[in-house]
Structure 1
């Protein structure tokens, strides 16, 4: 799964996508770059071979779709629930472990995998998205509290001079 995460990060970069999608760049050059990526990212041989097959077959453009589908299958087979935790700052590993335990209790999943996202719009606090297609949300952000207070305040009868 570590290789899949690495491939996902690398091929989510628009510059990398643009390079591999460019038809004027030779297959040999693309294979060289795959070799460099595999070496610098310490990818397993079978992962590098798979990327080369995608380059050879001119299908490297769908690598992100393959990664997503692999994750879905892997999670289903291993009973893993994925939770996306968004926060203003990077959370400490012990905080993420507690969040994982809470999600595991809620979902009764065998395993919980945490993905983190930095979201400055939250002001403070965090949100947790889990469930199929991220359908469940736990919102512990200050932004939510501010929105709730604003919704309770009724300024419709006030007129400005």
Structure 2
């Protein structure tokens, strides 16, 4: 079993517990905002990332650092959750936990998350057009676009919604033609 699969299995119950407790306390949106802030903060600091992932640093020290960093920025609910993760030596699962939590929030709100891979940055008008088309296809109330630049696509874009992929890129079309020509030459 790969490490990422075991991380995913271990992370999901924590995300579910956080989601359920946030729902009971009517803090889903606040928790959502807090988790985005935490993710942004950690992703901007390689030192913080390394510190939190270091198994030689004890839970108490990690809790103190997290408490100092986020005391006035996140709710006590989320701060307590971070403490639990540190105590159980599960802080290394924070990214998958946040991802799962956000998926649960999106399901609750009937929000579809679409990963867009594009060769160049797309305009706001193009983003709105994509959102409308994806809403129609998925019958969602909301669509959240996660846009990533991938210059290897040459031009066009790839949309990934769950396990479905819509490849409208030049490199995708070239790959399709290549495989077709390879089959035709058999």
TM range (shorter): 0.7 to 0.9
Pairwise CA RMSD: 3.0
* 2:175 aligned with 1:143: no
Aligned counterpart in structure 2 of residue 78 of structure 1, from 78, 87, 109: 109
**Distance in structure 2 (CA, Å) of the matches to 1:56 and 1:117:** 35
**Distance in structure 1 (CA, Å) of the matches to 2:165 and 2:86:** 38
Deviations 1:33-88 (A, max 9, x none): 32454379x44443333223321332212222322321232122111111100112
TM-score under structure 2 length normalisation? 0.66
How many residues are matched? 153
Q: Greater CA deviation, 42-51 or 87-96?
A: 42-51
**Distance in structure 1 (CA, Å) of the matches to 2:39 and 2:168:** 28
Deviations 1:94-134 (A, max 9, x none): 3222111110010111111111222121111111111xxx2
Structure 1 position 8, deviation (Å): 4.1
| Structure of higher RCO (CA pairs closer than 8 Å, 6+ residues apart) | 2
Aligned counterpart in structure 1 of residue 121 of structure 2, from 79, 90, 96: 90
Q: Contact 2:60/2:86 (CA < 8 Å) preserved in 1?
A: no
Q: In the alignment, what sits opposite 2:100?
A: 69
* 2:57 aligned with 1:25: yes
Q: In the alignment, what sits opposite 1:52?
A: 83
Aligned partner of residue 121 in structure 1, secondary structure: helix
Aligned partner of residue 24 in structure 1, secondary structure: coil
**Distance in structure 1 (CA, Å) of the matches to 2:36 and 2:69:** 13
- Map 1:117-132 onto structure 2 (within 5 A): 117-130=148-161
Aligned partner of residue 115 in structure 1, secondary structure: strand
Gaps of 5+ in 1: none
Q: Contact 1:81/1:113 (CA < 8 Å) preserved in 2?
A: yes
TM-score under structure 1 length normalisation? 0.75
Change over 3 Å in CA distance of 1:25–1:152 after alignment to 2: closer
Q: In the alignment, what sits opposite 1:112?
A: 143
